[in-house]
Amino acid sequence: MENFVIYTDTACDIEKETLGKWGVGLVPLSFRFNDIDKDYNEGDMPVPEFYDKMRKGGIAKTSAVNMETFKDVFREELKRGNDVLYLAFSSGLSNTYNAGRLAAEELLEEFPDRRVIAVDTLAASAGQGLLVKIASELKADGKTIEEVARFILDNRNNMCHWFTVDDLKYLKRGGRVSATAAFVGGMLNIKPVLHVDNEGKLINMHKVRGRKASFKEIVARYEALAQDKEGRVFISHGDCFEDAEEMARLLREKGAKVELITYIGTVIGAHAGPGTIAVFFLGSEK
């Protein structure tokens, strides 16, 4: 059996310990708060503390990953005789994939007999995480590095991302909605339902009034799009576990197998904010 390892980055919103059980390595992405002159990696600050700071007015910002970080991590695997498959955060939302791809290209000059493949998942949060989980299962089944990479490329635009946010101000900061839309939306209790499109970019799809209505709309998207109405679902949340459990209950009523509920980590959470609920599954289209 060929030796290869799968890596991803912390935008996948899967805990490091869980990734370890899947046999997947992790490249850390960093963030900082505007009032603290320090860069944090995922795990340096408990996620509940991160969201507590945001609720108290802290502004979190993510930092572009350094290509050298990827090179350092991947080089150690190549020295051990392992090839590397890196499943990256969407290029439509971040430059992370390009940093990993350039690192892979440079390392192949150092290690011409090895392989380093960087794949743009066009996914984020636990949608990226679900693709990583599937890749780890394919590897365990004996698939080659090329076969696993090809499967992810062929299926990445079937990974559905549907989510809603509790407060539009965080999307406003990231330029996803206008200041006027955020103000009016807050006054009228408007909750957007968003998804990630085939270019891996965030798209505002629906506007509904109230939290419950946004949940119903996401469940309706699952019913309309899921390849397997009894298929696996991952849910991520911005420090609102009870809401995530309610979403899981609604989906299970439709036959879904909710396999994992996880925190939205600091990288995605910096842009989506507390109270975000996201649902991920394989669908007929993204």
Residue 21, classified by CB atoms within 10 Å of its CB into exposed (0-12), middle (13-18) or buried (19+), is exposed
- Helix (H), strand (E), coil (C) string for the chain: CCCEEEEEEHHHCCCHHHHHHHCEEEECCEEEECCCCCCEECCCCCHHHHHHHHHCCCCEEECCCCHHHHHHHHHHHHHCCCEEEEEECCCCCCCHHHHHHHHHHHHHHHCCCCCEEEEECCCCHHHHHHHHHHHHHHHHCCCCHHHHHHHHHHHHHHEEEEEECCCCHHHHHCCCCCHHHHHHHHHHCEEEEEEECCCCCEEEEEEEECHHHHHHHHHHHHHHHECCCCCEEEEEECCCHHHHHHHHHHHHHCCCEEEEEEECCHHHHHHHCCCCEEEEEEECCC
Identify whether residues 145 and 166 lie together within a single domain. Answer: no
CA atoms within 13 A on the CB side of 182: 15
Q: What is the pLDDT of residue 238?
A: 97
pLDDT tens sequence across 157-206: 999 999 999 887 776 665 555 544 444 455 557 788 888 989 998 877 77
Q: What is the pLDDT of residue 46?
A: 93
Q: What is the pLDDT of residue 156?
A: 97
Q: Which of 156, 182, 204 is where one domain is finished?
A: 156
Strand pairing partners for 282? Answer: 159
Identify whether residues 108 and 147 lie together within a single domain. Answer: yes
Other residues' Cβ atoms within 10 Å of the Cβ of residue 37: 7
pLDDT of residue 223 exceeding 50: yes
Q: What is the pLDDT of residue 183?
A: 43
Q: Which of 45, 57, 119, 132 is nearest to 86 (CA)?
A: 119
Q: Which of 156, 188, 220 is where one domain is finished?
A: 156
pTM: 0.93
Identify whether residues 149 and 24 lie together within a single domain. Answer: yes
Write down the mean pLDDT value for the chain: 91
Q: Find the CATH number of the domain harbouring 259.
A: 3.30.1180.10
Identify whether residues 124 and 262 lie together within a single domain. Answer: no
Identify whether residues 128 and 227 lie together within a single domain. Answer: no
Least confident of 68-82, 134-148, 171-185: 171-185
pLDDT of residue 111 exceeding 90: yes
Q: What is the pLDDT of residue 54?
A: 94
Identify whether residues 103 and 238 lie together within a single domain. Answer: no
Axis crossing angle, helix 125-140 with helix 145-155, rounded to the nearest 10: 140
Identify whether residues 206 and 148 lie together within a single domain. Answer: no
Identify whether residues 124 and 59 lie together within a single domain. Answer: yes
Q: Which of 156, 172, 194 is where one domain is finished?
A: 156
Identify whether residues 22 and 120 lie together within a single domain. Answer: yes
CA atoms within 13 A on the CB side of 260: 19
Identify whether residues 15 and 116 lie together within a single domain. Answer: yes
pLDDT of residue 89 exceeding 70: yes
Q: Find the CATH number of the domain harbouring 29.
A: 3.40.50.10170
Identify whether residues 64 and 166 lie together within a single domain. Answer: no
Identify whether residues 41 and 143 lie together within a single domain. Answer: yes
Distant-in-sequence, close-in-space partners of 155: CB < 8 Å, separation ≥ 6: 131, 134, 282
Q: What is the pLDDT of residue 182?
A: 45
Do the beta carbons of residue 13 and residue 125 sit within 8 Å?
yes
Domain count for the chain, please give it: 2
Strand pairing partners for 261? Answer: 235
Structural domain including 13 reads 4-156
